[in-house]
Amino acid sequence: MSLLPITLYGDKILRKKTNKVSDVDLETVKLIKDMFETMKNAFGIGLAANQVGADKQIFIVNLSGVEDYEDTKPIVFLNPEIIKYSDEKTVVEEGCLSIPDVRADVERPEKISIKYFDTELKEQILDADELLARVIQHEFDHLQGVLFTDLIADDLKKKFKKDLSNIRRRKIEFEYPVTDHMDYQLL
């Protein structure tokens, strides 16, 4: 396994809707393993493939390092589709490995149902709530080219304008490997 550089705010691939996975070949398995290693190294709990430059509908979630979620198993989502959102919504502060040091309150549905394929290309349906539902929605948005900063109020967007510009221009310190240019794409 190896660490992959994380794409940053401003990188074109973060705004692109990703392509479906048709086969779980050795290259895809390696990508998934590298994504878990990269996410762990960056102390993340979710990571989408386009955050490491791969144009694929894949994201991973691992909440086992979070208090009260220690017994949860890591999950790989291929070609996901959120099929149900609850009417109840919650507001929770979110951050993102592609937008380091920027955190903001984001309103999202409390519960969701998601259909996806596992690494054996078997269809799965998962009902999720609370933190798991939030992380899934955040990572699913990545695959659609949507960032959490797109979901915040305009006054907060203005507040973060300088921070986002500094991230785009790589003018801050990063605690994990990041891409060095905005056209980066792995696969």
User: Other C-beta atoms within 10 Å of 114: how many?
Assistant: 21
Residues whose CB falls within 8 Å of the CB of residue 69, separated by 6 or more in sequence, listed in order: 63, 131, 132
Nearest to 6 by CA among 118, 73, 138, 96: 96
Distance CA 58, CA 72 (A): 19
In total, the chain counts a number of residues equal to: 187
Angle at 146 between CA 144 and CA 149, to 5 degrees: 170
Any idea which residues carry the catalytic annotation? 139
AA identity, residue 26: L
* Residue 75, strand partner residues: 61
DSSP tag of 179: -
Q: Which residue has the tokens 């609850």?
A: 86
Cβ–Cβ under 8 Å, residues 147 and 96: yes
Q: What are phi and psi for residue 14, nearest 5 degrees?
A: -70, -15
